Amino acid sequence: MITKSLKHVEILLVEDSPADILITREGFEEAKLINSLHVAEDGVEALAFLRQEGKYASAPRPDLILLDLNLPRKNGREVLAEIKADPGLKTIPVIILTTSHAEKDIFEAYGLCANCYIVKPVGFDNFVEAMKSIRQFWFSVVTLPPGGE
């Protein structure tokens, strides 16, 4: 039985590019995905947010993480490895959203249990469609009948 209502989706975007942050915000708005988009601009900040440390003591647990691989202070590979090694965080879906199309990076990300790997730049229409798919998945899961997991 599903106990959490996902009328409001908490998303953590781990991205250091202001342009990519803006495009992501606009994509979510266009997809009409009801959400709160939180931004961490480097890997250290992302882990502090996820672990509710320091200024993030009251941060919500995200329902989804969008993670760039190329980040200052701690790269996305390290962040992904720490997320998936942490029993309290490892079930949060992580979508890699990065400019690297290198097979090595793709294999490593999936080896570290990334849920999806998207190469930037993503056409805006394609990004919006992907976000609509996420919305459709969440809301179809929420509307399952009791016992219909």
Structural domains in the chain plus CATH codes: 9-142 (3.40.50.2300)
Q: What confidence category does residue 112 fall into, taking pLDDT thresholds of 50, 70 and 90?
A: very high
Mean pLDDT, to the nearest integer, of 103-115?
A: 92
Peptide bond just before 121 cis, omega within 30 deg = yes
What's the confidence (pLDDT) of residue 2?
42
Mean pLDDT, to the nearest integer, of 118-126?
A: 73
Please state, rounded to an integer, the average pLDDT across all residues of the chain: 82
Distance CA 71, CA 36 (A): 22
10 near 36, Cβ under 8 Å? yes
Q: Over pLDDT 70: what percentage of the chain?
A: 74
- pTM for this entry: 0.81
